[in-house]
Structure 1
Amino acid sequence: MEYTLAIESTPDTVEGGTGILLLHPSTGETDRLDTEFLATDTDAMLVISTRTTAREVKQKLEYYEVDESRATILDTLSVERGYTRRQSDNVRYASAPDDLDGIVEETEAFLAEHDGKLRVSFDSVTELVYYADEERAMAALEDVLELLAEYDAVGMFHLADEVHDEETVAAFRELFDGVVELREDGTVTSEF
């Protein structure tokens, strides 16, 4: 299955199973690229958030006019922070940002329960490394990338490049089929 990419300086389409790494400055405005990725050519989307709560993700989707009825949000922060949470059809919870098994299980459940063109956004790998560690984060991402291939879905994974050393960034780059780089000045380049 082919998926349209509506992100500047990227190929017009990518095949199902493609994992894309979004490298960005820690202060970079990634929401625009993320929502462009999610909103285009999509039947259902999963937003995995290790950086913001489900409420904040909903606000982002609303602001960028992404069809929320197609979105499922996996909130990994609210349980750990003690916020009130109500599981629903479109909001799921993992116990903490380092609940890697829970994140992988919820991703698989989403992919198994939905048909058509499926997109996954993982915001952010940087936070995942912070809460877990690099090795465990990498293993979990490998599992999620295998699921994308198995279910013919596509995913975009956020990594704030200047927070990590060059070796770490290089190791993460190797996991992905494509890399989109957002620079400080807002320009976008990609390598697929």
Structure 2
Amino acid sequence: MEYSLAIENAPETVSGGTSILLVHPSTAETDRVDTDFLKTDTDHLLVVSTRTTAREVKQKLEHYEVDEQRATILDTLSVERGYSRRKSDSVRYVSSPDDLEGIVDQVRRFLTETDGKRRVSVDSITEMIYYADEEQAREAIQEIQSLLADHDAVGLFHLAAEVHEESVVDDFRSLFDGIVELDEDGTLTATF
């Protein structure tokens, strides 16, 4: 299955199973890149949020006019922070951002329960490393990538470069089919 990509300077399409790393400064505005990826040529989308709550993700999707009827949000923060949570078909929860097994299970569930063109956004690997560690985060990312390949889906994974050692960033780069770099000024470069 081919997926259209609405990412500046990237290929027009990618095959199902493709995983893309979005490398960005921690202060950069990634929402535009993320939502352009999610709303293009898709039947179902999953936002795995280790950085913001489901409410904040919903606001982002609404602001950038992403079809919320197609969206499932995995909130990893609200339980740990004691926020109120309302389970629904479109919002799921795991206990915390370091519950990597729970995150992988929820990605598996989403991909098993949906069909057609599916996109997954993981925002962010940086938080997974912060809450767990590099090795566990790497294993979880690789498991998610395998699920994407098995289900002919595509994924976009965020990584804030300057908060990690260069060797860590390089290690994660090596796991991906495509690298999209977002500069402070909003310039995008892509290598596939």
TM over 0.5: yes
Aligned to 1:96: 96
- Secondary structure at the residue paired with 1:103? helix
CA distance in 1, matches of 2:186, 2:83: 34
1:19 aligns with 2:25: no
CA distance in 1, matches of 2:172, 2:166: 10
1:185 is displaced (CA, Å) by 1.2
Aligned to 2:87: 87
Q: What are the within-5 Å matches in structure 2 for residues 33-182 of structure 1? A: 33-182=33-182
CA distance in 2, matches of 1:2, 1:87: 33
Aligned to 1:5: 5
Opposite residue 91 of structure 2, the aligned amino acid is V
State the TM-score, normalizing by the size of structure 2.
0.99
1:191 aligns with 2:166: no
| Aligned length in residues | 192
1:139 is displaced (CA, Å) by 0.4
Structure 2 unmatched ranges of 5 or more? none
1:86 is displaced (CA, Å) by 1.5
Runs of 4+ in 1 over 2 A off after TM superposition: none
Opposite residue 179 of structure 2, the aligned amino acid is V
Opposite residue 32 of structure 1, the aligned amino acid is R
- Secondary structure at the residue paired with 1:175? coil
CA distance in 2, matches of 1:174, 1:66: 30
CA distance in 2, matches of 1:88, 1:10: 35
Superposition RMSD in Å: 0.4
State the TM-score, normalizing by the size of structure 1.
0.99
1:128 is displaced (CA, Å) by 0.6
1:87 is displaced (CA, Å) by 1.2
- Secondary structure at the residue paired with 1:28? coil
CA distance in 2, matches of 1:69, 1:43: 10
Structure 1 unmatched ranges of 5 or more? none
